[in-house]
A and B are shown apart, each in its own frame.
Chain A
Amino acid sequence: MNLSKPVSELFWRRLALTPAVGIFVLLSLLPLANLIAMSVHEISWQNGHSVWTFIGTSHYERLLDDGLLKKGFFNTIIFSVIGVTIQIILGFLLAWGVSRISRGRVLYRTIFILPILVPGILIGAIWKLMLNYDFGLVNGLIGLLSVQPIDWLGTASLALPSVILVDIWHWTPFCFLLLLAGFESLPQELHEAALIDGVTAWTELRYIYIPIMKPVIVVTFLFRFMTSLKVFDEIYLLTGGGPGSSTEVISYTIYRTFFTQDQMGYGSAMSVAVLFAIALMMVLGFSMSRYKVQGV
């Protein structure tokens, strides 16, 4: 298939891409280059000036011994895999449900989007109150069922699941929004075909909607997974990485290293290493998805 390429076509192509590329170069390559440069130096400050000492791969070697970072990586993966999977499933079912009903669509749509309208700080602060051992709403509600109060955030085994719960509440709207857009983009005939006699909801789902929606599902999953790996707000506000290291996540480790401890060199090495690891995962995930989705 050959689209003709007059001069104006090339012009439009350049113009179309310019804004995106321009911004990327200025604001994204520079920080990354800076990060990589810092990761091979030890940086200190004397007399108001920075002192950069080249130390090669010292920082990276230190990373390998960092038990807290390893735990953080492990926790982050669990957090993201479990959390995002549930969010996708829930978001999908909600989007499917909303696309099927005829009445109350706008209402449901607005309700299901509400959680991401609230700033992360407030979500963290209020959920912390709700999960409080002595006064929280959750313990109050289960108290009505005569259950003893549970320390959701202060018990090592429950802390991460509790944070995942808050994350699900916070981010399912994201999945819902994109998956709903996917549903609404489907051709009308598909919806009508699904109304044929004798087709159960489950069959509809399995043989019609899931295959058709696969591209959208994959994109939504990848994006939500990526942003989930960066989780910070919830951890910072709800648990501070504790109890112990049960809710330590990489963003939080990097934040403490880079910012609280002002270890710019080591923190940069951490960031670069994490970036590399994630990029590797993405490449694998991307190429796997290309097998299942035709023609990306």
Chain B
Amino acid sequence: MKQGISRRDLSLGAVSAGALSALAWSPSAWSQAAKQTPFTIVINNSPWFDGFRKVVEAYEADTGNKVNLDVNPFGGSLEKQRASVRTKDGMFDLLIMNGLYYQEFYHGGFLTPLNEIDPGFKLDPQMVRYDNTVYWNEATKSHDPAGKLMSVPVNGNIPLLYYRADLYEENKLKVPETWDELLANAKKLHNPPKIYGIVQRGARGAPNDVSYDWWPYLNSFNGNLFRNEAKGDFTITINSPEAKAALDFYLRMAKEAGHPQTGGLAQAQIIQNLVTGKAAHALLVIAAWSQMDDPAKSAVVGKLNAAKVPHGPNGKPSPVLGHWLAGIPKNVPKARQTAALAFLNWFQTRGSQVKYLQAGSPPVRQDVLSDQALWKDPKNRWMAAMAESSSYTRLMWSIPEGAQIGDVLELRLNQAVIGELTSSKALNMIADESHAILVRSGYKTGKIAPLA
């Protein structure tokens, strides 16, 4: 099946986009469409990679520039990126970093601010900022929008609420806005062992399962890991009464409408339950969507739909970020850095993003996400929810030590799910252990009163 818009459409799109934004952009941005030296992108294999690859091929066809792709398994990409930036001369010119591990590259000073490669480069206003993770203030070590631009998003992976639209129609259910509504719907559809009301990622993951699944609950119940990360106050507040409410709700969900063995479910099992029709709801990242409508991979083709993640008492949904950012390391020659940036420049145009969508990847431009004309295609029925979620995305943490805290979260939350620890005990242990980690690394931190 021939996919994608024709070259003429693409050029037309590029030209009109260029014309429209010529007012805001400096000429140097477009002069980079000139001939560039070949450069290498290091990236992981994933369902959205296919779309990315097609876009890269379109770039090569359009500009005549050569791009090498070094494709790796999920975890393998981090190993290689890390090894490459720590040597004298790196092997990779464009690093595709995940929202869970990009922090070490920012903090370690391995990346070149994009404007040092080209002072005229601007991140298109329509590109989603993803909780300002593209910006970095070296002095305050925070994601300050007034700081330097370090990366361009290439994938905006956030969780959405996947639900069985066909069962909703049968049972005349309304799409839930709050967690309570979700629980009510899940209970109505819960009919084990034929179908579970909801399946949750309760497993102890590598690098994460249960903490990523629970985080939207935490934030929307007004719970937080740190008191005020943006201002540098890393007092641990994970064992607050709000967080306990969030965790208790999560456990209640599992007990009343969930899978009997939630503690053993990782992302792969969530997907397995959804595609085999055994789950009525699940919180799952948008990156997994493409499998759902593929008859070779799914028994529920066309039956699923996606909505924003529900919100708690504070009224705001908080889909947690698992996105991908493209950064350029310092230890590669300037010519290759320029070539990589030229690609990113081309990538962020509206035309390229539409092609990206049609190749099977969620776009990272808000105007494409919100384009109601595109919503009409049933293949894109998840886009409305995604477009709405853009302004609510929340980062788990911005510090490299987050990986250690993540490990603690995974172990203790999993123990709470399987019943080895009570929710209070689990949260108190998380608080104590996270505190120890931060103290050891020299952060300004403290603890709050433990839960009873």
Asked if A and B form a direct contact in the complex, defined as CB atoms under 8 angstroms apart, the reply is: yes
Interface residues of A (CB under 8 A from B): 44-50, 68, 128, 132-135, 151, 153-156, 236, 239-245, 256, 259-263
Contact A151 B264 (CB under 8 A): yes
Contact A46 B204 (CB under 8 A): no
The total of interchain contacts (Cβ-Cβ below 8 angstroms) comes to 93
Contact A48 B261 (CB under 8 A): no
Contact B414 A132 (CB under 8 A): no
**Chain B, range 379-406, C-beta contacts under 8 Å to A:** 400, 403-404
Q: A155 to B375, alpha carbons, bound, how many Å?
A: 43
Assuming the contacts A153-B264, A240-B266, A243-B263, asked whether A48 and B109 have C-beta atoms less than 8 A apart, the reply is yes
Given the complex, which residues of B lie within 8 Å of A47, measured CB to CB? 108-109
* Complex partner residue of A45 from B110, B209, B411, B415, CB under 8 angstroms: B110
Assuming the contacts A132-B272, A135-B272, A151-B261, asked whether A243 and B418 have C-beta atoms less than 8 A apart, the reply is yes
Interface bits B199-218 vs A (CB < 8 Å: 1, else 0): 00001111101000000000
Given the complex, which residues of B lie within 8 Å of A45, measured CB to CB? 86, 104, 107-110
Given the complex, which residues of B lie within 8 Å of A156, measured CB to CB? 418, 420
* Complex partner residue of A48 from B206, B331, B420, CB under 8 angstroms: B331
Contact B330 A48 (CB under 8 A): yes
Contact A262 B400 (CB under 8 A): yes
Known: A260-B403, A263-B404. 4 other contacts (CB 8 A): A48-B109, A154-B261, A154-B265, A256-B206
Number of interface residues of B (CB under 8 A): 40
B171 lies within 8 A of chain A by Cβ = no
Q: A44 to B443, alpha carbons, bound, how many Å?
A: 14
Q: A263 to B405, alpha carbons, bound, how many Å?
A: 12
Assuming the contacts A46-B108, A68-B411, A154-B264, asked whether A259 and B204 have C-beta atoms less than 8 A apart, the reply is no
The A interface, classified by DSSP as helix, strand, loop or mixed, is loop
Q: Closest B residue to A236 by CB, please name it.
A: B206
Contact B261 A133 (CB under 8 A): yes
- A/B interface sample: 11 pairs, CB < 8 A: A45-B109, A48-B110, A133-B261, A134-B273, A134-B276, A236-B206, A240-B266, A242-B264, A243-B204, A259-B78, A260-B407
Interface bits B258-282 vs A (CB < 8 Å: 1, else 0): 0011011110110011001010000
* Complex partner residue of B407 from A132, A154, A236, A261, CB under 8 angstroms: A261
Given the complex, which residues of B lie within 8 Å of A244, measured CB to CB? 204, 411, 414-415, 418, 420
Contact A132 B269 (CB under 8 A): yes
Interface bits B66-109 vs A (CB < 8 Å: 1, else 0): 00000000000011001001100000000000000000100111
